[in-house]
Amino acid sequence: MINTGDLLPDVTLYEYNNDEGACAIGPNAFSVHERCKQKKVVVFGLPGAFTPTCSERHVPGYVAEAQALFAEGVDEILCVSVNDAFVMNAWGNSLQVGEAVRMIGDGNGEFSDALGLSQDLSARGLGRRSLRYAMVVDNLVVKHIAVEAPGKFEVSDAASMLATLRHV
């Protein structure tokens, strides 16, 4: 599992934004290293789009605290899930995330696997998913990581990351 002080793995992730209309070309691939180098980024991962805790608490918390996080020097907030970029875009639209949180698809689970933060929820009909976590990354180096225990939502929320940023 990735730890504080580790370099963020360089994996290709995907983002889709249909602001230009339903026929916009995408999804758009990007290198994690290219996206995050020389930036302070909060990355939070969660089990899945449109799932209860993720939709009702996790993402909305980051949308609500986005301006406070940016005021602490965060350049970008990335929400990553093992869903495709089209689903992540639709989910972001349904939650009205706007520009506050970038909804990023890790459709094949490669980023979650590279972090050592994937889980198998096949017994529940969900397949391979990400664990719930959040991390502060500064110029590709993990400065803080918080991984939730199974079924919990206590340490990866936006308020916890904001408190961490004020002490990092």
- The set of catalytic residues is 54
Joined together, the tokens standing for residue 142 give: 């993990």
How many whole angstroms separate alpha carbon 129 and alpha carbon 131? 7
CB burial string 64-73: b at 16+ within 10 A, e below: ebbeebeebe
The secondary element (H helix, E strand) that includes residue 77 is strand 76-81
Residue 117 vs residues 27, 69, 87, 92, 98: alpha-carbon distances, Å? 24, 24, 21, 22, 27
How many whole angstroms separate alpha carbon 55 and alpha carbon 88? 11
Between CA 34 and CA 140, with CA 9 as vertex, the angle to 5 degrees is 55
